[in-house]
Every structure is written in structure tokens, then in C-alpha cells.
Amino acid sequence: MEKDEKEAILEEMMIKHGSDLVRLAFNYVKDRETAKDMVQNSFIKCYENLDGFRCDSSMKTWLYRITVNQCKDYLRSWHYRKVQTKSAFVNAIKSISSLTEKEVIKKSESEEMKNIMFSLPASYREVIYLYYYKDLAITEIAEVTGLNLNTVKTRLRRGKQRLKNLLEEAEVYGEIH
């Protein structure tokens, strides 16, 4: 593949998926600037490995996979473990009443819902984010995360149950107004 062709493909991918990838990375690292760095590194890896892209999956799925791996590597790094990260989600949930799953999904764009979601363990948060926020199918989530299909289904089910429990708990203790 020629350099000009690779650059054109990369530019198209950056325009098409850049902001989505930053949000995906933010879901992992919880810092906007670090998320941007993760995505930049992902695009560099994409460019370097574009000749080796086998088209087994879509370019979007491949970029998501690269970004997820980039974030996981960062979270395992010495820098992340040794340097304290700032706590990003401290505010209590304000206005959610007894919600069905459909209402939860609708409200998920609100800051309060994001706070609850980010309080979930990373394994559940990851699949819920990809499923509801990125509209990935369960098979795509398995491919992006490198998890077994049944593991994704289990984590999604358990994550939704934990999310429901957290919402009910927040309502019981008066944190929701």
C-alpha cells in the first residue's frame, strides 16, 4: 500500500471515528487528555499496521480493538498504578426515579447516570458502554475485547443487574431527587 493511500485511509478513519474513540478511551482512563493520547497512539498503530490489516473485521472494530488494548496497557502500566489519578465522579445522583431498563438507557446520557455507570467494576462497565453507548452487537464486543461470547453475555447481564441495584439503592437512600 502506498504512503498516500495509507494517509488517506487514516485521515478518513480519524474523521469518522476519532471522537467515538476518545469517548471509548475515556471510559477506561477517566481523563480526557489521557484518552486523547490513547487514541493518538491507536491511530499511530493503525497507520503502522495498515498493510497487515486482513479485513477479518471492519476497520471500525479493528480501531476499537486497538484503542481498548492501548487503554488496558496503560492501565497496567507503572505510570498509572504509581501516580494517583484524580477522582472524577464524586457528585451524587440527582433526578432519576424508579426506572425500567428502557428508561435507564434513555437517561444514560445524563451526568448522573454516567456517575453510576462508572462506579461499576471495569469488566461490567466495559461491556455496558460498548453495548449501549457504542451500539456494538454482542459478537462485536467479544471481538473488540477479546472475550468469549458467553463471557460478554454474562458480564452484560450481571452488569445490568448491578446497575439496577445501584439505581434502586440510590433511590432508597435519598440520593436521587
CA–CA dist 105, 136 (Å, integer): 14
Please give the average per-residue pLDDT across 121-145, as a whole number. Answer: 86
Higher per-residue pLDDT: 153 or 8: 153
pTM of the model: 0.53
Helices (DSSP H) in 1-148: which residue ranges? Answer: 3-29, 32-49, 59-76, 78-82, 101-107, 111-118, 122-128, 138-145
For residue 94, what pLDDT band results from cuts at 50, 70 and 90? very low
CA–CA dist 87, 100 (Å, integer): 29
Q: For the ranges 1-5, 27-31, 69-73, 167-171, which has the lowest average pLDDT?
A: 167-171
Type of residue found at 150: N
pLDDT of residue 177: 39
Instruction: Specify the 3-state DSSP secondary structure of 165.
Output: helix
Structural domains in the chain, CATH included, are 3-82 (1.10.1740.10), 101-172 (1.10.10.10)
Percent of residues, the chain, with pLDDT higher than 90: 20
Interval 102-129: pLDDT, tens: 565 555 546 666 777 778 888 888 888 8
